[in-house]
Chain A
Amino acid sequence: IVMTQSPATLAVSPGERATLSCRASQSVSNSFLAWYQQKPGQAPRLLIYDASTRATGIPARFSGSGSGTEFTLTISSLQSEDVAVYYCQQYSRWPLTFGGGTKVEIK
């Protein structure tokens, strides 16, 4: 399953909403879709799984939605510490596949 993310780069003002998109080349069964955050120089961190469930310790400003082939990650009020690259990943079938990433910057 090929995962495509858009936009490649997103510049958002502090406190504003950031909306990231992820599209799958075929339906992701059971909404087996995860989002990861990778800050510069760090390992990726799991944010969201099953399309909309926040992982342990993830702030409520991060939310996920979608099903089938269209998924969205929303950061409701962007903070400076949210500057990172965000990746979606499907785990409905092997091989596990990631999107190309969306880089979120502060405007």
Chain B
Amino acid sequence: QVQLVEFGGGVVQPGGSLRLSCAASGFSFSTYAMHWVRQAPGKGLEWVAVISYDGSDKVYTDSVKGRYTISRDNSKNTLYLQLNSLRAEDSAVYHCAKDQFSGSGIHWATNRLDPWGQGTLVAVSS
């Protein structure tokens, strides 16, 4: 079955950096777009970024543009999120999620997220 396991979270000072990873198994990773979504403690869901199946297309939410970088290594079945210039408001559980159906060409994402990983906690604090 599909498994997504995130790691790399932790406590970091404002202005610091972290790299999150998401290890995928149970499906053909290289044929699916992948997403990151975050959830501040006790709060709702905020979509962060998406990357196409081959890594050639990336889209970010405005609040992280220029600070975060999404990437993937299809040879390792792993998704990444590089977090730089971290702020207190970036504190959240970061979930990776698989796009629902495999994509191709201009239709590289359905933007329906299924399934999700349990997430890794990032806490930005001095």
A residues neighboring B (CB under 8 Å): 32, 34, 36, 42-46, 49, 55, 87, 89, 91, 94-101
Complex partner residue of A46 from B60, B61, B114, B117, CB under 8 angstroms = B114
Give the interface of B toward A (CB within 8 A).
35, 44-47, 50, 59-62, 95, 100, 110-119
B109 CB to closest chain A CB (Å) equals 9
A105 to B87, CA, bound (A): 34
> How many A-B residue contacts, CB cutoff 8 Å?
58
Interface of B (DSSP majority class): strand
Could you tell me the distance in whole angstroms from the C-beta of B26 to the nearest C-beta in chain A? 14
Alpha-carbon distance A45/B115, docked complex (angstroms): 6
Q: What is the chain A residue whose CB lies nearest that of B118?
A: A43
Distance A94 CA – B46 CA, assembled complex (angstroms): 12
Q: Assess whether A46 is in contact with B100, with CB atoms less than 8 Å apart.
A: yes
Contact B115 A43 (CB under 8 A): yes
